[in-house]
Each structure stands twice: as C-alpha cells, then as structure tokens.
Chain A
C-alpha cells in the first residue's frame, strides 16, 4: 500500500467512524431522587369556591334558538310532561299552467295530481319507542312563527284533518324494494298506501326518511292559492313518543312533490314538480308548537331547552395561578338545582365556550377550529354534580391575558355526528353564585413555575 493510499484509507476509516457515531442518544433511565436535577415538577390542586361571579342565564322568553329557526322540529307526546307538534308550510308550486301544443303558446291549467308525496327526514327518534306512529295532518295556510299550540285553527286541524297515520314499526316490517320514483333509494314499501320508509345511518345515528303518498282528495292542487299546502305532524307511541324532524334551517326540511296531470289536446300526460324551496323562504315556514310553555328563567343557571337558554359566567382567577403556573386541568363544578328535564334516556352535551367579547347575553362564543370545545355529557334525569373540563379555556386565558374571563354554557345535541343548539327540549338548571352553598366552583390542577437548578 502506497503512503497516499494509506492516508486515504485512514481518513476513510475516521470518516466512517464519525458518521456512525454522530447520532446522539443520551437518554438515561429514570432513577430519580438522587440522580435527577434538583428541580421537581410538583402538581398542586385547589378548589376555588368563589371564582365564579356575575353569572346569569339568558334566553327566555325569546331564546337564542326558537321553534321557528330551530334545526329540527321537535315532536313529542309525553303525557303529563309535554305535547309538541310540528307545523310546516310549503312554497307555491312552480308551475300552474302549461303550453298545450307548442309552438302555440296557449296554455292550459294543470289537472289535479294523481299522487302527492310529502317527505320528512326523522333525524332522531327514541330507539326504545314501540308502536311509534307518525300522524300527518292538513293545516290551514295561516300558520307562521307566531302560531301557538292553542291557536284554534291549528288545534282544530289536529283534531279533524288527519291525512295519514304511519306506524313506523309496521312499515319497517314491510319488505324492501328499490324506489326509483321518489326516494331514489331502497325503501320499506307499504303496498296498500304507497308510503315509504328509507333507513340511513348518519354519524352513527339511525335516521328515517318517511314518505307519505297522498292523493288529490287529501291534498288538492288549489291553483287559486298557487297550490300552497301546510301540514302538521303528531306522534304517538306506547312510550317515549319523541322524534326530531329536519327543517329547512338544517337544509333537511320537508319536501312536497306533485305528480300532476295535464291535458295536451286530449292526451293526458304526467308532469312532476316540487314545491320550490320546500319549507324555506319568506312564504314558507317550518317549526313546532308545544304545551305547556317552557318554564321561565329564575336565579339559577339554565342551559338548553326551547327557547334555547344559555348561561354566562364570569371567572375571577387568582393572579398567581394565571401568571406563574401551567394549568393542566380545570374543572367547572355545577350543582343541579333540579333534575335535568327531558325525554327519558335522552342526553345532550353541555359546552363551555370562551368569548372574545363580553357583551352580556349577546357575547359571541369563541370557536377554535384547532381545539375541541370543552364539554361533558348530561343525561336527562341527572341530579348529580356536573363536572365540565374547562382546561382549554383557562390555558387560553393564560396565553391571551386580554381575553374576557367569561364562560358561556350552552347546549349541544348530536345530530348526524355534529352538535346543534336548540335541538332538544331537555334543559339543565344549575345553582348560580347566588346560592352560597351550592354555587359553581372551579377545580384547578396546576404546576407551579419550575426553578431550574443551575
């Protein structure tokens, strides 16, 4: 080996060793006490009894969400508790007359339809309900957002104008078939009435699309009023008669489809059309009426219900905790003043939101797309203390010291995997800071600032 080659070989060996050795791995095993740095991570825990102040509930009689702008129409028949009925009015039919024989522009009126389909999406129902029956009524066109349960025109119609009753269990027992006419899906089909029921699963939640098939006797094509039509829904069951029907506010409102006929120079032809826009828009409406009216707000903190109520809480945190610690968990402790009301076996989420601006009842909630909001599940009938994690909120306050230290409690009801406000009658009532012994408390677990050992 020449001296030059020898030098190159030596350099190569050195380089190889260096490359092989350049990775660092200096993690030592954990036998602390004697062999760890003197700084220690300590966890402290405290319950702040008077941290919650200036707390109030808002949302009655006019709620954050009201029946006319709710994401669902709540339909319930709970004897002794509540009766609620859906009411909705469709937009006019798009076409009332057609050209008889083109190119002649003379038009003639559409004839009465041979069938009319009313479709509903039942977004939520109680799985324990048996003999769940949905009743469809014809209602007067006078219904709107001011209509109440005791409005004579409405209450009379629910007594006399029944169009169809469909037992969901019975319809589910029917064989399935492909419906290429109206549902465009596989449906359970009633061969006698022509009613259809499609079953979906959205976000782990079973949903129904219920389609009533009616005729022109039940739903006349009244051209004097642009073929507008209004309907009502009532529900019965052996127990737990409660459903939530999608509305136009959710983009899943009822649909009305006319299968009109038309006389084209003696030839009767079919013509299909839908109520344009369904129940959305100024001329249409969807909502629900119920009795008894929801209890008014009191000195307690109310969340949920209909009209939807929310509670606003202000938090006074010790400066030492905000400035010099790392909060690893914070829990808001609420004591119910009454058992949570609603349909048995039902539940909802209680959300705690921060706000960027505290303007009282109209404080906007802060939604951070990068963080799941702090929440906990509340079950109807609950009387135990409610604990809701507000760790994210408090940590955000530590970062942004200019944020108002205000927490907004609001309800979220899961529909198709998402949580919606104003989608349930269930409401929780919790003691406010005015109840000295049962007032809301804040449980904070934190790590004080570490002093590093030199």
Chain B
C-alpha cells in the first residue's frame, strides 16, 4: 500500500463525523420555503476562491470539459462544517452542521479522453425548526410547541467524459441522475397534559434527470475561457410510491475565464445563470458571479468573492448572497496526495431573515 493511501485511510479513520450523514454542503432556512438549498458543484480547492476556479477545476463537477486536464486517476472528497447565525428581527441563534458535500473520481482512458463521475449535493433538504404558539382548543388557549424536521438531500450522480480536441480546445458532456430522500417529521407537543403529544413521520423520495455540455478554449497560453450549459428536467417527489409533486428544474448557463499573468499567480472569474424561477412557489431565477485568485506554489494562497441570489425565499424577492473565501492546500507524497483547506463566509439577506455562515472545509485528493 502506498504512503498516499495510508495517509488517506488514516485521515478517514480520524473523521468520525464524515460519512455519517451524506448531506449538503450548505443549508439555509431560505431553502425551507422552496425545494431546498442548492448545493455547489465545487471542490474544496475551488470553494477557497469562492467558486471562481470551478469552471477550470477537474475536481469540481461544474464543467465536464475540465476533466480533460485530469490526466491521472484522481479521487477527491471533502467535508464542510458550517456555523450559521440566523437573525430574525429581535432574535438571533446559531446552528452548526457537518456535511460531506462532494466525492469525485476521474481518470484518462487514452486517446485524449477522460471520464469521471461522482456525486455532489444538488438540493439540501435538511432542517429542524421549532416554533411556539398558542392555539385555541375547545375555547381555551393552549400553548403548543411544533417541530418540523427534515433530514436528507437530493444528490447529483454524475457520469461525464471530456475530450481534448486540440491543445487549445476541450469539450465535455455529462449525464446526471438526481436521486435522494428525506426523512420528514412534524410533531406537536401540548403544554396542557390533557392533550397527547403527537407526531407524524414519513420518507419522501426524489428523482430527476439532467444533461450537461461544456467547452474550454485556450486562445492564449495564459488565458482560458469556459462556457457551459446544463439542463435538468424535473424533480419528482414521492411518498410511499405516491407522486406528491413534480417541479421543473433549471437550465444552467455559465461562462468563465481564467488568466495567468505569471507563473505563480492566477485570476479567474465566472458567471452562472440558473432558471430556478419555474421551480414552483417562492422560486426565482438567479445570476451568480465570482472572482478569485490563487497566488504561490507549494502552499498557495487562494482568495475569492462571490455574489448573487439564492433561488428560494419568501417575501416576493430572491434573497441576496455575498461571500468571501480563502484557503490553501498541501501536497505530499510527491504530489500524489493533496489536502485543501478553505474558510468561507457568506451573508444572506432576505425579507425578514438574515443569515451569516462560516464554513470550514477540508478536502482530500489522491492520485495513486
């Protein structure tokens, strides 16, 4: 067994929280009013640049054509721990969650063709909400505590291929199976013991399908340009085999560029548009952007900012989102192993709610 694998197994064994719940990278209370909180198809390395490098990162699942640069068998995964401050008018609370947002595998099969796959969170559907209220029952006010929980996600299982058409042009395409489930529970506790506390639980399953295509052009040695499109069909939700709903999923269109003015400095920027507005109530189409840089070699410094909107939120308008991120990475075993670290801060603003999220991410990549 190689040293790389030994390190990876050791690290995995030391991560008891990871893998317990294969959930989304980023949940948000805004997502409760819609289909959920969309995941990010970004590796930990790209998250450190606020997603600006995702379009050129073979470890990210945003652009299939980027797989063309993955000339070795590569396995990557990561975990994310979020601390989220939720601010309502007059109150504020903190939540914490550990997620396992992405797993990828890619490798060349020769003839300039690289195939890859893995999973990423498509929609996070985890939340746990308690409310206090007083309801009139039999003409008497009775205090109650309601609790709504959902634990689950819709995952994007991707199979993709990229081909290097020429040294200056890569193209890629992928198929996406959207699948997942959520254990949901709604319960009411009565403060008056004359009433019996009650709850109802169920499991919802989801399925959908999508396809993606992308190209990356390298018009100049220091400049890369990417364009990508993805179309997802619909998300069907079932309870015990009965169809509950069918929601349209968005078409994603994006573009990005990367500029490398020097050997140890790279800049990137991207813009992504998603037509979430047809996905149901409280849904809005979004445009998100990001700008980032990576400076240095060995232990590079990565920085980035992102902005845009979340697709779901009440109040008649899409919640805004702004984030800054930074991070670095280590190589070991002659570059066969990578550990990427990232710290991200997001501010989200919507009608009646603000969220501030700190997320610490750790990514592992092995190239045996």
Stretch at the interface among A29-37, A148-156, A268-276: A29-37
Return chain B residues, CB-CB under 8 Å to A454: 35, 204, 206, 235, 237, 244-245, 247
Beta-carbon contact of B132 and A30 below 8 Å: yes
From A26, A29, A37, A43, give the contact of B137 (CB < 8 A): A43
Q: How many residues of A contact B (CB 8 A)?
A: 45
From B132, B188, B204, B332, give the contact of A7 (CB < 8 A): B332
Beta-carbon contact of A10 and B339 below 8 Å: yes
Known: A19-B16, A32-B146, A389-B194. A445 touches B186 (CB 8 A): no
Cα-based distance from A3 to B288 in the complex (angstroms): 40
Cα-based distance from A231 to B360 in the complex (angstroms): 88
Cβ < 8 Å to B, chain A residues 429-447: 443, 445, 447
- Chain B min CB distance to A19 (Å): 6
From A11, A34, A43, A450, give the contact of B315 (CB < 8 A): A34
Please tell me if A27 contacts chain B, counting CB pairs below 8 Å: yes
Beta-carbon contact of A17 and B81 below 8 Å: yes
Beta-carbon contact of B129 and A27 below 8 Å: yes
Return chain A residues, CB-CB under 8 Å to B14: 11, 14-15, 18-19
Return chain B residues, CB-CB under 8 Å to A18: 14-18, 79, 81, 98, 362
From A395, A443, A449, A451, give the contact of B196 (CB < 8 A): A395
Please tell me if B86 contacts chain A, counting CB pairs below 8 Å: yes
Cβ < 8 Å to B, chain A residues 107-147: none
Binary per-residue interface labels of chain B (125-136) against chain A in the complex, 1 for a CB within 8 Å, 0 otherwise: 011111111010
Stretch at the interface among B46-54, B89-97, B221-229: B89-97
Known: A11-B7, A14-B14. A25 touches B93 (CB 8 A): no
Beta-carbon contact of B128 and A26 below 8 Å: yes
Please tell me if A326 contacts chain B, counting CB pairs below 8 Å: yes
Cα-based distance from A452 to B184 in the complex (angstroms): 8
Known: A25-B96, A39-B148, A328-B190. A32 touches B131 (CB 8 A): yes
Cα-based distance from A28 to B353 in the complex (angstroms): 12
Return chain B residues, CB-CB under 8 Å to A38: 33
Which B-chain residue is minimally distant from A23 (CB atoms)?
B96
- Chain A min CB distance to B124 (Å): 11
Return chain A residues, CB-CB under 8 Å to B315: 34
Known: A18-B79, A27-B95, A389-B194. A41 touches B352 (CB 8 A): no
Known: A18-B15, A32-B146, A37-B32. A26 touches B97 (CB 8 A): yes
Cα-based distance from A322 to B196 in the complex (angstroms): 16
Return chain B residues, CB-CB under 8 Å to A27: 95, 128-130
Beta-carbon contact of A41 and B188 below 8 Å: yes
From A19, A39, A452, give the contact of B17 (CB < 8 A): A19
Cα-based distance from A326 to B204 in the complex (angstroms): 20
Please tell me if B150 contacts chain A, counting CB pairs below 8 Å: yes
Please tell me if A329 contacts chain B, counting CB pairs below 8 Å: yes
Cβ < 8 Å to A, chain B residues 294-322: 314-315
Residues of B within 8 A of A (CB): 7, 10-11, 14-18, 20-21, 27, 29-30, 32-33, 35, 79, 81, 86, 88, 91, 93, 95-98, 126-133, 135, 137-138, 146, 148, 150, 184, 186-188, 190, 194-198, 200, 202, 204, 206, 235, 237, 239, 244-245, 247, 314-315, 330, 332, 339, 351-353, 360, 362
Residues of A within 8 A of B (CB): 3, 7, 10-11, 14-15, 17-19, 21-32, 34-39, 41, 43, 45, 326-329, 389, 391, 395, 443, 445, 447, 449-452, 454
